[in-house]
A and B are shown apart, each in its own frame.
Chain A
Amino acid sequence: MSTRHTPGAAERPSPPSIVRPYGDTTGDGMVQVSFTLPLPHDKRAEGAALQLAKKMGMDPALLVHAKPMGPDFTFFVVYGSVTHLVDTREVVVIEREYPLLAAKEINLAIKRSLRRKLVVVGACIGTDAHTVGIDAILNIKGFAGEKGLEYYREITVVNLGAQVLVPDLVARARAERADAVLVSQVVTQRDAHIHNTGQMSAAFREAYPSGQVPLLVVGGPRFEEGTAGALGVDRIFGRGTTPGEVASYLVHALVPDAPARVAS
């Protein structure tokens, strides 16, 4: 995510490090949750819902809605004050490890250092046919007001589209002498995205001499941050990624002496 400098932010006092949820007054700790229990709707089920709320740290908890769904299930909405405090100093944030560059800077950096175009091969692999996400990154049309990688003069984009088999992807990446391979995975049921990504990275490592594997990048709305290593890829991009972020990362990872300036 890009962090933008908000005028006047510096003058405001910094937020407290210990906080509780805010309902309508500071420190009231109010939250709302909804869930289903596999119980018929009766007094006992309502008591069970409150017991769960207490165990989740809601005390006092107020059962505001209970509705039977068929003979065997009940749906609940519970409001309550949570007893937990959160300490923002213990939160670990993965900061973007590369500067955001403007299109011009990206083109210039590639031209100066590589002296050729940077080649990117993209695909949805396995049985996944959700191409809208990878197209948002690659196609000229782009995403969120930013043009896609095809728009960059110094980047050559080969977009293979949907349901590409891993061996075909590897073959094409070799034929095109890809610097980076961009793969999208949207379907996550039964961890399909994890299996497919693992299979893909293994295939690349088998097909290329070590040290020459192209940069492997995967994206999709439901990858977990920080799992790139476990999946055998170089980086993961999640929900709301913009093409500019991806292009900046590619330059950071692939172009020696890339500019370190942070675009404002």
Chain B
Amino acid sequence: MVRLARSHTTVSVERATLRLAGLSGADHEGIPWVNHLVDAVRAEVGLERGVTTPVFDALRRGEAPDLLILAQKAASGSVSFQLPDGRGLTAARRAARREVSQGIRRIDRQRVARERLVRRHGDPKQTPWIYLIVATGDIDEDIPQAQAAAREGADVIAVIRSTGQSLLDYVPEGATHEGYAGTYATQENFRLMRAALDETSKEVGRYIRLTNYASGLCMPEIAVLAGLERLDMMLNDSMYGILFRDINPVRTFVDQRFSRQIHARAGIIINTGEDNYLTTADAVEAAHTVTVSQLLNEFFAKEAGLQDWQLGLGHAFEIVPEIPDSFRMELAHAMLARQLFPKAPLKWMPPTKHMTGDIFRGYLLDGFFNLVGAMTGQSILLVGMMTEAVVTPFLSDRDLALQNVRYVLGAAGGLVEDFHPPRDGFIQTRARTVLGEAVGLLEAIVADTSGRSGGVPPLLAAIGDGTFGLMKRPADAGKGLGGVVERAPGPDGYDNPATTLLEEGSSR
């Protein structure tokens, strides 16, 4: 899989690279200049050698004075791109590296700024950190809601994206006010929210972290924007887009690797999406798919340079509450994750699927969810809302939910010290069963030879024949496949200064 990711690029990886080189903005129809430039280069000379070489070669030849004007001219078809060789090639690559490294250094500065602000304002006093979602669709509404949530006790604010953004093959521009069930992820929205939360951090005396989503067709670009604007956590899952958005598997793995390299550099904590396996399948039957996904997420994350403290692996409280021992099984699953990944900041997510219009029952369930979080030492706790099945939360829903969390953490937070389920008791046995099933599934994937003849790695073959989430996602289908390009081999082949700088760990 890694070899596959390293031997391909995508339109979004190339656009992300241009964003690092400083190209931003969009035409009057909202189509970003990075899209215009990548499309024009692709049409004329292809992307097999990367977008930066022909782009910086064109600048060197005086086609335009800067990237923006080059993109504008490219959009109207009045630039000609070439693939330079010899001295021209060396010079274009050197120029590209110089410009792209500026973006990388800006990400480095934001990381330093975060470290400074955390020292100044402090981390949350308790673990788990309290994670709350806002989702109004309008950045101007999101900001006061996020600030109010932080004042009420939230340590991490997540701004959910508008439905449909994951399938846009461009990143919208500017401050936005019209999302559906979420707010568009744009560079300007990121900047506005981060600035507002910096104010609030000062006021409440702890650093309030900001989260968004690096998923969908623009994963690499969103990761770059998050690094440039100092977001602190990003949802970033290795298979979510494939399974739940029908994005092409190769596109996803290529985009994912680049986006995670950026996150690693930016000091961002990723959040993975294992909760989704439990909302689409039965949480008891599918418990082991969570473990398998966590292991895969961990592998791909480390391969991309992320460290243990950056792995917010996910899991969730989604067992049907009515079945006997449901709470004991939740405890078993949560402890299993905690013990398998002792150094990772695990993200514990609340019941959603079995929440109903009975908000009183929902409040009790959320209390039990919080209790599992406290007893098993989870790191990030996504706050559950009793109105989950009814509305996007009211102000009072959030306040009640935070009271619930505070009560449980205050009353039972210390239980993590006392709680040691007995050897071979129900909890241990259940955890062992789930782990056994997870190992079994991984073995079955490794043994899957259905793709061998076509040179498809076993994991892709497994995704293709419906091993995960019951969804069949073949490697040669799905959205965004048209944006995948095989890299040209050899010394004058593919070049991407961003990847080089990230892999070398250098900044010039």
Using CB atoms and an 8 Å cutoff, list the residues of chain A in contact with chain B: 34-36, 67, 69-70, 73, 75, 126-129, 131-132, 161-163, 187, 189-190, 192, 221
Going nearest first, the 8 A-B pairs with the smallest beta carbon separation are A127-B164, A127-B163, A189-B181, A69-B399, A75-B396, A36-B396, A187-B181, A192-B180
Name the residue on B nearest A163 (C-beta).
Answer: B167
Tell me which residues across on chain A come within 8 A of B78, comparing CB atoms: none
CB within 8 Å for A129 and B180 given contacts A70-B151, A70-B152, A189-B392: no
Decide: A189 and B280 in contact? CB cutoff 8 A.
no
CB within 8 Å for A129 and B279 given contacts A36-B396, A75-B396, A75-B399: no
Contact string, B387-418, partner A, CB cutoff 8 A, digits 1/0? 00100101110011000000000000000000
Decide: A69 and B395 in contact? CB cutoff 8 A.
yes
**16 intermolecular pairs with C-beta atoms under 8 Å apart:** A36-B394, A67-B399, A69-B152, A69-B395, A70-B152, A75-B396, A126-B164, A127-B167, A129-B244, A131-B280, A132-B353, A162-B244, A163-B164, A163-B245, A187-B181, A190-B137
B148 located at the interface, meaning its Cβ lies under 8 Å from any Cβ of chain A in the complex: yes
Decide: A73 and B395 in contact? CB cutoff 8 A.
yes
B246 located at the interface, meaning its Cβ lies under 8 Å from any Cβ of chain A in the complex: yes
Decide: B396 and A189 in contact? CB cutoff 8 A.
no
Query: In the bound complex, what is the Cα–Cα distance between A162 and B242 (angstroms)?
Result: 12
Decide: A161 and B246 in contact? CB cutoff 8 A.
yes
Contact string, B319-357, partner A, CB cutoff 8 A, digits 1/0? 000000000000000000000000000000000010000
Tell me which residues across on chain B come within 8 A of A69, comparing CB atoms: 152, 395-396, 399
Decide: B180 and A190 in contact? CB cutoff 8 A.
yes
Tell me which residues across on chain A come within 8 A of B163, comparing CB atoms: 127-129, 187, 192
Shortest distance from the beta carbon of B450 to any chain A beta carbon, whole Å: 22
Query: In the bound complex, what is the Cα–Cα distance between A15 and B152 (angstroms)?
Result: 47
Decide: A129 and B396 in contact? CB cutoff 8 A.
no
Query: In the bound complex, what is the Cα–Cα distance between A189 and B393 (angstroms)?
Result: 12
Decide: B180 and A187 in contact? CB cutoff 8 A.
yes
Decide: B180 and A36 in contact? CB cutoff 8 A.
no
Tell me which residues across on chain B come within 8 A of A132, comparing CB atoms: 279-280, 353
CB < 8 Å A-B pair total: 52
Name the residue on B nearest A76 (C-beta).
Answer: B396
Which residues in window 216-251 of B have CB below 8 A to A?
A: 244-246
Name the residue on A nearest B136 (C-beta).
Answer: A189
Shortest distance from the beta carbon of A193 to any chain B beta carbon, whole Å: 10
Shortest distance from the beta carbon of B161 to any chain A beta carbon, whole Å: 11
Query: In the bound complex, what is the Cα–Cα distance between A2 and B246 (angstroms)?
Result: 36
Tell me which residues across on chain A come within 8 A of B151, comparing CB atoms: 70
Contact string, B451-462, partner A, CB cutoff 8 A, digits 1/0? 000000000000
A129 interface neighbour in B148, B245, B394, B400, Cβ under 8 Å: B245
Tell me which residues across on chain B come within 8 A of A75, comparing CB atoms: 396, 399-400
Shortest distance from the beta carbon of A12 to any chain B beta carbon, whole Å: 26
Query: 20 extra interchain contacts, Cβ-Cβ under 8 A, other than A161-B246, A189-B181?
Result: A34-B396, A67-B399, A69-B152, A69-B399, A70-B148, A70-B151, A70-B152, A127-B162, A127-B163, A129-B245, A132-B279, A132-B353, A162-B244, A163-B167, A163-B245, A187-B163, A187-B180, A189-B392, A192-B163, A192-B180
Shortest distance from the beta carbon of B128 to any chain A beta carbon, whole Å: 23
Interface centre among B163, B279, B394, by most A CB within 10 Å? B163
Tell me which residues across on chain B come within 8 A of A162, comparing CB atoms: 244-246
A36 interface neighbour in B137, B162, B395, Cβ under 8 Å: B395
Contact string, B153-175, partner A, CB cutoff 8 A, digits 1/0? 00000000011100100000000
Query: In the bound complex, what is the Cα–Cα distance between A69 and B181 (angstroms)?
Result: 24
Query: In the bound complex, what is the Cα–Cα distance between A36 and B163 (angstroms)?
Result: 29
Query: In the bound complex, what is the Cα–Cα distance between A192 and B392 (angstroms)?
Result: 14
Name the residue on A nearest B181 (C-beta).
Answer: A189
Tell me which residues across on chain A come within 8 A of B167, comparing CB atoms: 127, 163
Query: In the bound complex, what is the Cα–Cα distance between A189 and B135 (angstroms)?
Result: 10
Tell me which residues across on chain A come within 8 A of B394, comparing CB atoms: 36
Tell me which residues across on chain A come within 8 A of B279, comparing CB atoms: 132
Tell me which residues across on chain B come within 8 A of A131, comparing CB atoms: 280
Tell me which residues across on chain A come within 8 A of B137, comparing CB atoms: 189-190
Which residues in window 137-154 of B have CB below 8 A to A?
A: 137, 148, 151-152
A127 interface neighbour in B180, B246, B353, Cβ under 8 Å: B180
Shortest distance from the beta carbon of B177 to any chain A beta carbon, whole Å: 11
Contact string, B111-151, partner A, CB cutoff 8 A, digits 1/0? 00000000000000000000000000100000000001001
Shortest distance from the beta carbon of B183 to any chain A beta carbon, whole Å: 11
Tell me which residues across on chain B come within 8 A of A36, comparing CB atoms: 394-396
Interface centre among B181, B280, B392, B394, by most A CB within 10 Å? B181
Shortest distance from the beta carbon of B166 to any chain A beta carbon, whole Å: 9
